Structure 1
Amino acid sequence: MATKTNEQLIADVMGGETALVTPKAAAAFLGCHERTVTRMCEQGKLKAVKVMSMWRVNRRALLDFAGVEA
């Protein structure tokens, strides 16, 4: 599988095809590091779920956090 560019990751968030996005996509969208998103998930600042050992961020909550209308 090819690695996605930041533009592709941001398009995934804005496209709304899925309810959950990866921390990498959330970080590209917010313009921060992936670890920052993971910390925000751990602290409850972003609505997210842990699937096995991987975080998945709620897309709607991410857009609300960023102040973006979808």
Structure 2
Amino acid sequence: MSVVQHNGWRIESQSFKARGNRWCPKALVGVFEGGRFYTHDVVALLSVTFETARDADDYAIKVAKMWIEDRA
């Protein structure tokens, strides 16, 4: 698990093991707005899996950054 910042948002990778030894990418994004902390799960399609947790986390962070940029 890793935590990065992107455009004022916090991204925490939370990839998980599924279907045997495959890893599913997942990230939790969060931001403070108007005095409140908002979060959103960013999950890849279940058909997108990786052999390692690191690869899944890297992909999850990439997708989370795209999600954040699409909100701007």
**TM-score, length of structure 1 as denominator length:** 0.31
Using structure 2 for the length normalisation, give the TM-score. Answer: 0.31
Please say which structure displays the higher CA radius of gyration. 2
Report the structure, 1 or 2, having the larger strand content: 2
More helix as a share of residues: 1
